[in-house]
Structure 1
């Protein structure tokens, strides 16, 4: 048996039927108010059925956490009925549905927020050229956003999802509190590495408490993180090792590293003997499952990643080839579609948002 076909069970009881999951990707298919569309449902359902789980694109937990137009929302009870339809569509033939939840923080702009200023840990703009200077969140606002992560989790439970993933990666709000670039506070929420971890600790505690107090069965909580930043100052790989060491001892069900290449090594000169995934797995030491990701496009890639990580997440390849898993396990890898054209978009249910993602990330695979 290939390792990728083996089931895995998390501490809260949920079992994935295999170790291949769909990575969270931005698709920009939702209505202006974050409500799920039929196109969105069709897109996810096409990719469900064979793989173990689908992790949705990010859903914002409160209105000023919106990062882009067409984004999923889980900030209002009115969104629950359509979220329930999305969860049900993903759960075709036993695929599990994981809702990724987040707040964009400073990684948005006032036009998306309808004239309101973005907020963050501190009034420091992103290094992106379009970045606006955010407003530093007050202590009360921080407590409110933590509570909104908890409320979003309750809505995910009500909608019938199998879990939530806290999006602590890709420069969004959770990462902004952990980063010395975006967090220059001098109160309980910032300063030392330990204080910059406080926000993460409290979000994780609030969300897992909602799950455990609800007595819902087989509902999991994961955490996605970026292992490095390229700003000065910024998160260094030693910070990431501290982060996973702390999180591995919480009641989370899994950790999910965000990478563009699963074979990448850390930037720090002292960490060049192994890949990022290998160093992370060594630090975790079996305490919690680790999801790896990044340029996993073949069976060989998946099996190689799974020698270190517990689960392999596939992204771009599932946009062009929704039937990747079945073709691999039936020895039909030569039939996998690696390149697509604009004529394939309707067949593959790829919207403008997902198409833009493809153009940005895999121009070499578009005919």
Structure 2
């Protein structure tokens, strides 16, 4: 191995004692490839197993915690006990290759396609549609429904424990339900769940508390809990960097095991809310990194990018598109073959790359999403 890349292969131990063999993690990525009944498909299992050998931890694509939280076609389910064998199949495949398995748990809220949820009724914090073209107006959730969804995050966590996962990641990013409660764009409530910044934080914090209580009651061995968030929103009103800093301070106080930043480029700077020319990642790390491990992500295509991201002092780096383009990314760096890393998707290599067809079709029909071989 080239000595300059050795920091990527230092071990890391979470506060609960869960140990990672290196600093490189597979980021959660939707793959649209589960079976129609919500079970994990064989193609998905092969896809994850192919990418689980080099990284120290795999965070799965999101699994929905209630039937009205399904956000994508081909998303696998975690909303009922009948899904435990399916969830276990995926966890076992990841762990058999030497990586820790973390289940990302999720509710899509107003971003759910109406045709995927019962009665076509989408729900959110308030009756405010997304600014995406053609978005439907959601129904505002009632108090009993909010409490039910909070419990559902806990129940899916229990299923993850029973299925053999090493942890869960609460998906509070990318405009989905948890973020919808935190955002001033989607949350116009005037009760205990909205209004002030503190009240908009109530739903995310209630889910964290519920998940932690379920883990304390059910886990027989160390089980980590992470939280993924998007630092800012483009909408006005929308989440600003200043508001996110308040949120992550509150999350750090809960003694979560890690925070995971969701952004397309680890070098991205704040849009608004703080007067700081450093990257969001550096600011976040400076604010809470001494209290809670931060995972950085975004356009880390080669090991030099990864080393640069580590220089922001975050301890862990997540690779997303990079592991789809080259499943052997980590092993190549570890074995001194970093010059052989593929950094552009080869449109003729689906079988070699072990990518399920629905995900492959999304990649090749979405210009600009992945860099392509000419």
How far the C-alpha of 1:94 sits from its partner, in A, is: 2.3
SS in 1 for 2:120: coil
How many Å separate the matches in 1 of 2:173 and 2:283?
A: 18
Alignment of 1:12-31 (within 5 A): 12-31=16-35
Structure 1 equivalent of residue 56 of structure 2: 52
SS in 2 for 1:186: coil
Structure 1 equivalent of residue 315 of structure 2: 310
1:352 to 1:80, Cα distance in 2 relative to 1, 3 A = same
1:177 to 1:366, Cα distance in 2 relative to 1, 3 A = farther
User: Does 1:365 pair with 2:372?
Assistant: yes
- TM-score normalized by structure 2? 0.95
User: Does 1:77 pair with 2:81?
Assistant: yes
How far the C-alpha of 1:92 sits from its partner, in A, is: 2.6
Structure 2 equivalent of residue 35 of structure 1: 39
Alignment of 1:95-114 (within 5 A): 95-114=99-118
How many Å separate the matches in 2 of 1:274 and 1:217?
A: 39
How many Å separate the matches in 2 of 1:113 and 1:52?
A: 35
SS in 1 for 2:228: strand
Structure 1 equivalent of residue 304 of structure 2: 300
Alignment of 1:111-130 (within 5 A): 111-130=115-134
SS in 2 for 1:59: strand
Among candidates 192, 196, 199, match of residue 195 of structure 1: 199
User: Does 1:220 pair with 2:224?
Assistant: yes
SS in 2 for 1:129: coil
How far the C-alpha of 1:114 sits from its partner, in A, is: 5.0
User: Does 1:251 pair with 2:255?
Assistant: yes
Structure 1 unaligned regions, length at least 5: none
How many Å separate the matches in 2 of 1:113 and 1:343?
A: 35
- 2:66 and 2:152 in contact (8 A); partners too: yes
Deviations 1:152-177, CA, capped at 9 Å, x for gaps: 00000000011100000000000000
How many Å separate the matches in 2 of 1:3 and 1:280?
A: 21
How far the C-alpha of 1:256 sits from its partner, in A, is: 0.2
- 2:255 and 2:292 in contact (8 A); partners too: no
How far the C-alpha of 1:357 sits from its partner, in A, is: 4.7
- 1:108 and 1:131 in contact (8 A); partners too: no
Among candidates 325, 328, 331, match of residue 330 of structure 2: 325
Among candidates 290, 294, 305, match of residue 294 of structure 2: 290
Deviations 1:107-137, CA, capped at 9 Å, x for gaps: 0122122542100000100010121000000
Deviations 1:187-223, CA, capped at 9 Å, x for gaps: 0000000000000110000001111112421210000
Structure 1 equivalent of residue 355 of structure 2: 350
Structure 2 unaligned regions, length at least 5: none
Structure 1 equivalent of residue 151 of structure 2: 147
Structure 2 equivalent of residue 239 of structure 1: 243
Deviations 1:205-257, CA, capped at 9 Å, x for gaps: 00011111124212100000000000010000001100111111112100000
Deviations 1:56-102, CA, capped at 9 Å, x for gaps: 11100010000111001100111111211110110134210011010
User: Does 1:167 pair with 2:174?
Assistant: no
- TM-score normalized by structure 1? 0.97
User: Does 1:281 pair with 2:285?
Assistant: yes
1:332 to 1:120, Cα distance in 2 relative to 1, 3 A = same
How many Å separate the matches in 2 of 1:124 and 1:136?
A: 8
How far the C-alpha of 1:343 sits from its partner, in A, is: 2.3
How many Å separate the matches in 2 of 1:300 and 1:125?
A: 41
- 2:49 and 2:97 in contact (8 A); partners too: no
How many Å separate the matches in 2 of 1:324 and 1:53?
A: 14
Kindly tell me the number of residue pairs found equivalent between the two proteins: 367
What CA RMSD, in Å, does the superposition of the two structures yield over aligned residues?
1.4
How far the C-alpha of 1:309 sits from its partner, in A, is: 1.1
